[in-house]
Amino acid sequence: MYYSNGNYEAFAHPQKPENVDGKSAYIVGSGLAALSTAVFLIRDGQMAGERIHILEELSLPGGSMDGIRNERLGYIIRGGREMEPHFEVLWDLFRSIPSLENPKHSILDEFYWLNKKDPSFAKTRAIYERGKAIPDDGQLTLSQKAVKEIFDLVLTPESHLQDVQIDQVFSEDFFNSNFWLYWSTMFAFEPWASAMEMRRYLMRFIQHVGTLKNLSSLKFTQYNQYESLILPLVAFLKDHNVNFSYQTVVTNILVNRSGSDKLATKIEMTVDGQEKVLL
């Protein structure tokens, strides 16, 4: 989907690429990016699902969006995503994926109406002493010095932030602010974390600073993101006969170069511990 100043180009169906019926796709990993690639190859690239192969080292799909029950550790989810209305590619993807509970609706339909009927809104963002709101809850409490430090970080090129920690670019003024309390708990940042990643988050989500106090800009899935997002994607791909290969570790990809062109000619891997080569 392509957006210009209007929606003239947004909903036009792409033409079938030349020779796509003679091509195959091998996708390493089965995280959200990999599964999305497979969906777009089918929907927009008009590639047959039988010609798409997903190679995953684990025993289940989802990458870091997995959700498993471990007999020793309990129920494990490696991470969650803070979602908001301007995830254009994600919503474009999920408008094409049927809901598992109501196949007449898309995952986007399901997600949209859930958040319409049950929106995210925190009356109190930070509490202490078993339920008391902090006195200045809802205020960012940023000093002029802290505001300048935020601007300085955003204006710093990424090339200058390699191996730089957050606590190396901010002073105690910043860390004592409610902004840091809200931001760090929302995105799981620690003072020792990457300043480069902090900068990226500031640039991506700065439009939501006004709702840090109540989280009203966030959107949530009905269940955990593995069950609400990954499982419907996998079901869609299996319905289109996409090949999933688990316990598969890609160890090497041999590439031929010709000028600026690169062509993968061989994929070396182990499948269930056995070496295998794809030509």
Q: Residue 58, class by beta-carbon neighbours within 10 Å (0-12 exposed, 13-18 middle, 19+ buried)?
A: middle
- Catalytic annotation present for 201: yes
* Distance, CA of 234 to CA of 54 (rounded, Å): 11
Nearest-angstrom CA–CA distance, 97 and 81: 19
Q: How far apart are CA 29 and CA 45, in angstroms?
A: 20
- Give the CA diameter of the chain: 67
Q: Calculate the alpha carbon distances from 125 to 97, 178, 207, 215 in Å.
A: 34, 10, 18, 8
Residues 245/59, Cβ–Cβ less than 8 Å:
no
125, 214 in Cβ contact below 8 A?
yes
Distance CA 15, CA 23 (A): 16
Q: How far, in Å, CA of 174 to CA of 149, rounded?
A: 8
Q: Which of these is catalytic: 26, 201, 227, 268?
A: 201
Burial of 141 (0-12, 13-18, 19+ CB in 10 A): middle
Annotated catalytic residue within 82, 84, 149, 268? 82
CA-based Rg of the chain, rounded to a whole angstrom? 23
Q: Is 246 a catalytic residue?
A: no
How far is residue 65 from each of residues 22, 68, 128, 269, measured CA to CA in Å?
32, 10, 32, 24
The catalytic residue positions are 82, 201
